[in-house]
Amino acid sequence: MQRDRSILSTVPRNGRLAKRLAVFMELNQEEIDYLDQLQQKEIRLNAGTDIISEGNPYQFSYILKDGWAINYKLLPEGSRQIINFLLPGDFIGLRANWFKTAEASVAGLTDIIVSPMLPHRIITGSQKFPKLGAAIAWSSARDESIMIEHIVSLGRRKAYERIAHLILELRKRLQIVGFTRQRSFILPVTQEVLGDYLGLTVVHVNRTLKKLRERGLIAMEGERLIIKDIEGLERTAGFDGDYLKQDKPSPMTTAFIERIDPSAPVEAPLKKRLGKIQEAAPAGLKSTN
Amino acid sequence: MQRDRSILSTVPRNGRLAKRLAVFMELNQEEIDYLDQLQQKEIRLNAGTDIISEGNPYQFSYILKDGWAINYKLLPEGSRQIINFLLPGDFIGLRANWFKTAEASVAGLTDIIVSPMLPHRIITGSQKFPKLGAAIAWSSARDESIMIEHIVSLGRRKAYERIAHLILELRKRLQIVGFTRQRSFILPVTQEVLGDYLGLTVVHVNRTLKKLRERGLIAMEGERLIIKDIEGLERTAGFDGDYLKQDKPSPMTTAFIERIDPSAPVEAPLKKRLGKIQEAAPAGLKSTN
DNA sequence: CGCCAGGTTGAAAATTGTCAACACGTGTGG
DNA sequence: CCACACGTGTTGACAATTTTCAACCTGGCG
């Protein structure tokens, strides 16, 4: 096993979450400090150990500071479906805030480092730094976007396209937290894991990767995946990375943040929208009572 | 087209959202009244018209009061993947609160009735009725559970099992809002729509439905789907409806609600958990610094 | 040295898709 | 009122994709 995967990133461990949230909206120093403070405590886990177990009560949510993890479910007959890859800077188990029981398990794919988050810290933090609450909500919404793309992949893309799509998505996500070089990144994952994410068998993943290599789209050097033809990959994947960007909060978010921040008064734009409900009815409108 | 699908439910239009949220936690009369008030305005849309369009800016979020809708994405080559079915009482486009641009489209499968929700109503409502904010968060989390099951279906279940699973899920969801009889419900959906949800072609959906009929698991009378053998369906689907229940909020939720409700003081249980962070480290723990 | 996890490959089988034709009911325009 | 278009369901024959089974290879590690 690789020891300190950490050094592979240009972003320090505690800065990864902030880096990721900054995609959504810039944070000021105070907020960054608070996030840093949230992550003081570190827990190290061996690759393969569950940090959350399906059906069991949640304990905490976590910030994944280093290493890769997966969110997965096991089926009765023994197969596994991976729901999502969790990368450094991602939250783990935010749903713990709303549900008593875990819907799926989370395990490290590599050795990982996490910081547990106490619920009260999140709550008080969100009250003190309204942007933080918004950023957490945004983060959940981004995860949902990723799941939507996953559904599209599984439902409508062929093996070849699915893999291409996954590679591009991982690249984009890793870029944000500083884990990529120009045209390559470490993919610390067996072909079986890929299959369990992509809804394919190992054998078929193997053959499909071979095809991607033969056609000159990618190359591999150990765990390092080298992208040889980005346009080619994007074309075959039908990839449009916007779902990972979402770089501007909606006006509602802005209004929300300002509203719950006692220091900021509610300003005009919000009110202006209130009267526009009639026009909001989309085409195809039949009647309004 | 059926005219007033409404009469098929035992729950009045404005009560469906409340009924659904009540699965999570009971609401008092004041809260129910508030929800009712949120839904005064009605917009009717023809089957097939988009209420939210992928790539376009969001206008509002909505409550779906009557009819069925779908959340879907179109692929470049023209195929469609349905992400989720939206049933009466569901929210539409809650992500509008966080994202500027819609990640997927939403369209009515039948004629539908929706109530637009103004963001400020949600915000002030959540402040006045803390449970409401929690319920909205819960609702999003439930949607995520449904998407997780969808991913599992697409990734690891065969056509035959996928359909069985979908039928059971829809039944359970429709039950809550009063749209089922003992062993049947109206499924206002073409086989093509089923295929687009299940990641299958129409032809294959057709054959698979036939198999389900031949094996005596289901029957159809026009749009009414009759479940002839629930245990059989559950067995073939590996169905466990718990993900739709989640009937108890986590202690964190409770703490959260009480915390932001000015009339309720923070009480002991929350504080008691604060010191337990050490024990929270799951098995497999390596070191703690 | 030998075990074991992971990668690779071939051959055959199973699942699912494609193409094409036809059936049926509904609604519309002539 | 009839003819016809159209959307939807159904079926057969065949093709493509993906799985299954089984074997073999490789490198790391105790």
Question: Looking at per-residue confidence, does A25 or A241 come out higher?
Answer: A25
Confidence of residue B143 (pLDDT cuts 50, 70, 90): very high
Query: Would you say the pTM of this structure is higher than 0.85?
Result: yes
Residue with the larger pLDDT of the pair A284 and B167: B167
Confidence check: pLDDT of B267 > 80 = no
User: Measured between beta carbons, which residues in chain B are less than 8 angstroms from residue A96?
Assistant: 250, 252
Give the confidence band of A131 by pLDDT, cuts at 50, 70, 90: confident
Pair B100, B57: CB distance under 8 Å: yes
A82-96, A247-261, B51-65: range with highest mean pLDDT: A82-96
pLDDT the model gives residue B277: 33
Give me B12's structure tokens.
Answer: 């009045």
The values of phi and psi at residue B50, to 5°, are: -75, 135
Q: Which of residues 116-135 of A touch B (CB under 8 A)?
A: 116, 118-120, 123, 127, 134
pLDDT of residue B184: 96
Q: Which two tokens stand for residue A27?
A: 């944070």
Report the length, in residues, of chain B. 289
Say if A63 is an interface residue toward chain B (CB within 8 Å). Answer: no
Whether residue B81 and residue A152 make contact (CB cut-off 8 A), yes or no, is: yes
- Which tokens is B165 given? 């699973």
The whole-chain average pLDDT of chain B stands at: 84
Task: Find which of A151, A197, A248 to mutate to test the B interface (most B CBs within 10 Å of its CB).
Answer: A151
* pLDDT at residue A100, as a whole number: 78
Q: What is the pLDDT of residues B147-168, one digit of tens each?
A: 999 999 999 999 999 999 999 9
% residues pLDDT > 70 (chain B): 81
Residue A254's pLDDT is: 55
Interface contact flag, B75 A156, Cβ < 8 Å: yes
Residue A147's contacts (CB-CB under 8 Å, 6 or more residues apart) are: A83, A84, B144, B147, B148, B151
pLDDT digits (tens, 9 = 90+) for A138-184: 899 899 999 999 999 999 999 999 999 999 999 999 999 999 999 99
- Cα–Cα distances (Å) from A269 to A19, A251, B122, B127, in that order, read 29, 9, 17, 21
State yes or no: pLDDT of B15 exceeds 50.
yes
Residue A144 CA to residue A91 CA, distance in Å, equals: 13
B7: confidence class by pLDDT, cuts 50, 70, 90: low
Residue with nearest Cα to nucleotide D29 C1': A1
| A207 strand D contact, CB < 7 Å | yes
Least confident of A244-253, B60-69, B208-217: A244-253
The residue type found at A164 is: A
* DSSP output for B147-187: HHHHHHHHHH--HHHHHHHHHHHHHHHHHHTT-EETTEEE-
Q: With 0-12 CB in 10 A as exposed, 13-18 as middle and 19+ as buried, what is B153?
A: buried
- pLDDT above 70: percentage of residues in chain A: 82
Any chain A CB within 8 A of the CB of B46?
yes
B28 by DSSP, 3-state: which?
coil
Chain B residues 260-289 with CB within 8 Å of chain A: 260, 270, 273-274, 277, 280-289
Scan residues 20-39 of B and list those with Cβ closer than 8 Å to A: none
3-class secondary-structure state, position A40: coil
DSSP bridge pairs for B52: B106
Residues 64-83 on B with a CB inside 8 Å of A are 73, 75-77, 79-81, 83
- Would the pLDDT of B187 be above 90? yes
CB B58 within 8 A of CB B99: yes
Question: Could you give the 3-state DSSP secondary structure of residue B265?
Answer: coil
- For the cut 50, the answer to whether the pLDDT of residue A129 exceeds it is yes
Which residue minimizes Cα–C1' distance to D18?
A204
> Contact A48/A97 with Cβ under 8 angstroms?
no
Distance CA A289, CA B44 (A): 9
* pLDDT at residue B260, as a whole number: 43
- Residue A197 clears pLDDT 90, i.e. is over it: yes
Q: pLDDT, tens digit, for every residue of A23-70?
A: 988 899 999 999 999 999 999 999 999 999 998 888 789 999 999 999
The predicted model gives A130-134 an average pLDDT of 84
Sign of CA dihedral A195, A200, A201, A207: negative
* Cα separations in angstroms, A287 against A280, B35, B231: 13, 22, 44
Strand D nucleotides in reach of protein CB atoms, 7 A cut-off:
7-13, 17-22, 29
**Residue A59, min C-alpha distance to chain B (Å):** 7
By DSSP bridging, strand B180-181 and strand B184-186 are antiparallel
| Residue B253 pLDDT class (50, 70, 90 cuts) | low
pLDDT score for A137: 84
Residue that is written with structure tokens 């990144």 in the block = A185
The per-residue DSSP string of B93-104 comes to -GGGGTBSB-SS
Query: Which residue in B has a C-alpha nearest to residue A74's C-alpha?
Result: B152
Is B89 in contact with B139 (CB distance < 8 Å)? no
Mean pLDDT of B248-275: 42
